[in-house]
Structure formats: C-alpha cells, structure tokens
Structure 1
Amino acid sequence: MNEPFDVALVQQRLREQVAALTGGVCGGAEYAAVKSLRDFRHGSAYVVLASEINPNSPDSPAGARSRGVNQVLCTFGVITVARHQRGRTGEEALQEARPLIGAVRTALIGWVPEAPLRPVSWLKGDVMEYDANTLLWIDVFTTTHFITGGTA
C-alpha cells in the first residue's frame, strides 16, 4: 500500500464503536465546509489526515536497513464537537464533551486499522476553538505503515 493512509477506516471505526456520535462522522472536506462554530453539529466528529513522515533518516542504521521499504508515521486528528446551549464559557461544553472524547479514545487507542498498519497510539488532545455554546476538541493519533519503491 503506497497510498496515503485512508481516514475512511477511522471514520468507519468511529461509526461502529461510538454510538454517542449522533451528529455523524465526517472527513476533512466536510470540516472545511463549515463556516462558523454555531454551524457544527453537536455530537459529531471529523477525521482529518494531518501528516505522513518517514521517522528514520536515510543515513540512520534503521534507514539503511530498509532496502527500499520506508516506514511511514501517519498522524491524524479526530475533531469532536460539543455544545452547551446555556453555557457562558467553553467550560460547560468541555464537561459535556468529556464522555464523548473518552469514547473516541477508547475506540481508537490500540486498534489496528488493517494489516500491515500498526496499532493506533494517542499523541495529544487539546481545545481547538470554542465560544459560549460550542467547543471543538481535537485528539491527535498516530499509526505506522510501510511503503516500497517500484522495481527497476
């Protein structure tokens, strides 16, 4: 598999494992289409591919041993949306989001999307943006796969 990591695998996993995502599970295009915080659907998640890098320098012993096989560290984010209608700060929305964030983490940490991918690891989580009623939280995850060069 020399293609970029397919976040549709993560989207499907979340649909199957996190019933609390009643607002749906979407991708980066849908996320980019939302123009304001109030337009995000409560209880939804957006899965976005952040980056893919080769963590081994070609000059390192690990890079030299690869013989045309490149390790790819894939980083992706899951943006969870929470809303608290009567909130005055983002704190109420964060409290409401906590169980949903936990369910997303439970569904993904240690999960193996498909062979030859490695288990998913959690990297970090943080508030992206909020107002008095809506909060966007992002959890960043990684997995590893391998790509190979063509034969000459």
Structure 2
Amino acid sequence: MNFEPFDTGLVIERLKALVPDLRKVGGAADYAAVQELRGFATPSAFVIFAGESGGGTGPRGARVQPAVTRFGLALAVTNYRPGAGDQLGDELRKYIGLTRSALIGWVPPIPGATALVWEAGEVMDYDHSTVLYVESYQLNHLLQK
C-alpha cells in the first residue's frame, strides 16, 4: 500500500484473461509504437493511463487520500465497411461488448477501489482495413501509506 498511481497493468491482465480472442493487449508504449492504422494487429486493445485527481469518495487524512483515476482503452479491429467509419461494424461491436463486459463493474484488487465505470467511447480514426475506437473509464481508489 502506497501513494503510487493506479496500475493499468491490472486492466491489461484482466483483458488478456477474459477476452482471449484479442491478438494483442498492451499499454501506452505498445500503442505509441504503431505508426499508422494498418500497423495495428487486429483485433487488439491498448490500455492508456489518462490521469488522476483528488476528490474521490473515501476517508481523508495525512495517511489516506481518495483518488479518481481515468484510463483509455483503444480498440483496433478490422474495418469491413470502407468509408463508413461512422457506422459500427459487426466485429467492432463484438469487441466493444467483450471488453465492456470484462471491465464495467469490475473492482480491481487495490485498496478502496470502486467498480470501474464506463464514461464514453468514439471512433477516432479509420481506413479501408482498420478502425480505431477509444473508450474512457474511471474508478475511485485510495492512496495510502
């Protein structure tokens, strides 16, 4: 127990365990290594730490501080609908559903954690072979000594 930020590796491990059809599940460094849409192995998911703030629910004091953590989940899947990035294809809907099922309501094994809450999702980019869809999630937890 310490004051370290939330470990997004816990989310990566959960996705690997519960969504085995994903060819790759990685973090921010893996995501940043891809230079163009067709460089993504599809289907794949990337968990990216977005930030923390104070003000979460829970006890407060010099040894315990509540925190709100946000992270993003980028999904790269095959796009079978050329030029139709505003429509969600069957494969994209499938992986959105599988990853949401794995994450929404899950309580990570850390002090004071609340269930993960979905915030938003949107198509970020697409071409004739790949679509990139990004969702955001949040949870409350405790920073404590």
TM-score range, shorter chain: 0.7 to 0.9
Q: Report if the CA contact (8 A) 2:80-2:89 is conserved.
A: no
Q: Which residue of 2 aligns with 1:102?
A: 97
Tell me the number of residue pairs that the alignment of Structure 1 and Structure 2 aligns: 142
Report the 3-state secondary structure (helix = DSSP H, G, I; strand = E; otherwise coil) of the residue aligned with 2:10.
helix
Q: 1:114 aligns to what? A: 109
For normalisation by structure 1, the TM-score amounts to: 0.84
Q: Find the residue that maps to 1:71 and give its secondary structure.
A: strand
Name the counterpart of 2:84: 89
Matched with 2:25 is: 25
Report the counterpart of residue 47 of structure 1 in structure 2: 47
Instruction: Work out the CA distance in 1 between the residues paired with 2:81 and 2:138.
Output: 35
Structure 2: gaps spanning 5 or more residues? none
For structure 1, the residue ranges without an aligned partner over 5 or more in a row are: 57-61
CA contact (8 A) 1:72 1:146 kept: yes
Task: Considering fraction of residues, name the structure with more helix.
Answer: 1
AA in 2 matched with 1:77: G
Q: Is the 8 A contact 1:75 1:140 kept in 2?
A: yes
RMSD, matched Cα: 2.1
Residue by residue, what CA displacement relative to the aligned partner does 1:83-137 show, whole Å, maximum 9, x if unpaired?
1357343256643200111100000011111032221111111111112221111
Task: Note closer, same or farther for the CA distance 1:43–1:76 as it changes in structure 2 (3 Å cut).
Answer: same
Percent identical across equivalent pairs?
37
Between the aligned partners of 2:60 and 2:140, the Cα distance in structure 1 is 15
Letter in 2 for 1:96: E
Structure 1 runs, 4 residues or longer, greater than 4 Å off = none
The alpha-carbon deviation at position 16 of structure 1 amounts to 0.5
**SS of alignment partner, residue 2 of structure 1:** coil
Bigger Rg, structure 1 or 2: 1
